[in-house]
Amino acid sequence: MTDNEPVMLKPASAVRPVFPYVDGHEHKPLMEREELRDVINLSLWAGQLMLQHGADAARVEETIHRLGTGLGCDWMDILVLPQTIVATTINNQDFRTRVRRAPARGVNMTIVAEISELSYRARTGDLDRFTLRQELHRIDGAAPNYSRWTVILAVGAACAAFCRLFGGDAVAMAVTFLAAAAAMFARQELHRQHFNPLLITTVTAFIAGVIASTITLLEPETSRMATLSAAVLLLVPGVPLVNAAEDLLRGYPVTGIARGVSGLLVSLAIALGLALALWVTGGGGL
């Protein structure tokens, strides 16, 4: 080419940015703006339900990514925080970014497993966005698997079984059953009134501790500690603490630290409730 030859420049519309891809190096088919917006909204809705019901950060991120790319996006960038999800979806030269709040709603691994299964179906092409919306509506609006009284009785029986493992006798198990069942009933009522979660934990531990302390009237020398310990096991934040450790190990320090601090606060609320119960009942001889 000589100095006098004109230089042919490509139009700006012909220049395409380079993004990472999941399956090869070619862009997926171009999506309409409304379609791309719909995909990110559905993906974030699925991630929100998972985060609210006890999924760890890595699983939430992987599920959102599978859903977005399975429904036609080139790539998904996701940031999972303790109660917030930020996601950017990319298709050719177009992208969308959304933020979704995800306040905790209680542990429900059935919801987590069902949404995870939907993400695999989307990746294999067995699920489109219209079917995904129907499935998410069904999952979000599904009734609990067990009735309220079934949960209360099951919690009481479980705590009574732990009392036996801790060395309690039949009388201690019966007292533990009553204490845990009454505490679970109170916990459900307080949740329905939308009280602060830490206040709910403190009041529930107090009720369980007061009832469990009555064992000193029946057996002054036996099973006191086993009854008190087992009666509040329904409040132990097992899933948040396990998720906190997993998030830290898998490279999500912000979420891991926040969940760990939350679990610590719940543990302190349990201790405060028990301390108040022992103070009111005179310590039960402990």
pLDDT tens-digit map of 61-93: 999 999 999 998 888 899 999 899 999 888 877
- Residue 92: the pLDDT is 79
**Range 82-111 average pLDDT:** 88
Please report where in the chains the tokens 């309690």 appear, as a residue: 168
Least confidently predicted of 92-96, 102-106, 274-278:
92-96
**154/117 same-domain check:** no
**43/68 same-domain check:** yes
Paired tokens of 230: 């087992």
**Range 267-284 average pLDDT:** 88
Q: Which of 110, 140, 170 is the last residue of a domain?
A: 140
Paired tokens of 226: 């086993």
Mean pLDDT for the chain overall: 86
Whether 6 is covered by a domain: the verdict is no
**Range 188-201 average pLDDT:** 93
Question: In angstroms, rounded to a whole number, what is the distance separating the alpha carbons of residues 165 and 266?
Answer: 24
Paired tokens of 65: 């990514």
Q: Which of 140, 160, 176 is the last residue of a domain?
A: 140
Share of the chain above pLDDT 90, in %: 61
**123/42 same-domain check:** yes
Total residues found in the chain within this entry: 286
Paired tokens of 106: 């209680």
- Residue 286: the pLDDT is 52
Whether 36 is covered by a domain: the verdict is yes
**80/188 same-domain check:** no
Instruction: Please say if the pLDDT value at position 214 is more than 60.
Output: yes
**Range 226-242 average pLDDT:** 92
- Residue 121: the pLDDT is 93
Nearest to 258 by CA among 271, 272, 245: 245
Rg for the chain, CA atoms, rounded: 26
Instruction: Please say if the pLDDT value at position 8 is more than 50.
Output: no
Whether 131 is covered by a domain: the verdict is yes
Q: Is 104 exposed, middle or buried (0-12, 13-18, 19+ CB in 10 A)?
A: middle
Sheet order of strands, 84-91 included:
75-81, 84-91, 94-101
- Count of domains observed in the chain: 2
**84/188 same-domain check:** no
**84/200 same-domain check:** no
Whether 9 is covered by a domain: the verdict is no
Please report where in the chains the tokens 């529930």 appear, as a residue: 204
**114/208 same-domain check:** no
Question: In angstroms, rounded to a whole number, what is the distance separating the alpha carbons of residues 244 and 242?
Answer: 5
Instruction: Please say if the pLDDT value at position 22 is more than 70.
Output: no
Least confidently predicted of 1-10, 103-112, 250-259:
1-10
Whether 18 is covered by a domain: the verdict is yes
Whether 77 is covered by a domain: the verdict is yes
Instruction: Please say if the pLDDT value at position 3 is more than 70.
Output: no
**136/166 same-domain check:** no
Share of the chain above pLDDT 70, in %: 87
- At 149-184, the pLDDT tens digits run 999 999 999 999 999 999 888 889 999 999 999 999
C-beta of residue 227 within 8 angstroms of C-beta of residue 212: yes
94-101/75-81 β-pairing: unpaired
- At 118-148, the pLDDT tens digits run 999 998 889 899 999 999 999 999 888 889 9
Q: Which of 140, 163, 185 is the last residue of a domain?
A: 140
Whether 216 is covered by a domain: the verdict is yes
- Residue 204: the pLDDT is 97
**161/281 same-domain check:** yes
SS3 for 18-36 is: CCCCCCCCCCCCCCCHHHH
- At 37-56, the pLDDT tens digits run 899 999 999 999 999 999 99
**173/131 same-domain check:** no
Region of 31 (left: φ > 0; alpha: ψ -120 to 50; beta: rest) is: beta
Instruction: Please say if the pLDDT value at position 284 is more than 80.
Output: no
- pTM for this entry: 0.81
Strands (E), 72-199: 75-81, 84-91, 94-101
**136/154 same-domain check:** no
- Residue 33: the pLDDT is 82
- Residue 242: the pLDDT is 93
Question: In angstroms, rounded to a whole number, what is the distance separating the alpha carbons of residues 286 and 218?
Answer: 15
Question: In angstroms, rounded to a whole number, what is the distance separating the alpha carbons of residues 121 and 135?
Answer: 12
What is the span of the domain harbouring residue 51? 14-140
**168/266 same-domain check:** yes
Q: Max alpha carbon distance in the chain (Å)? A: 107
Whether 227 is covered by a domain: the verdict is yes
Instruction: Please say if the pLDDT value at position 20 is more than 60.
Output: no
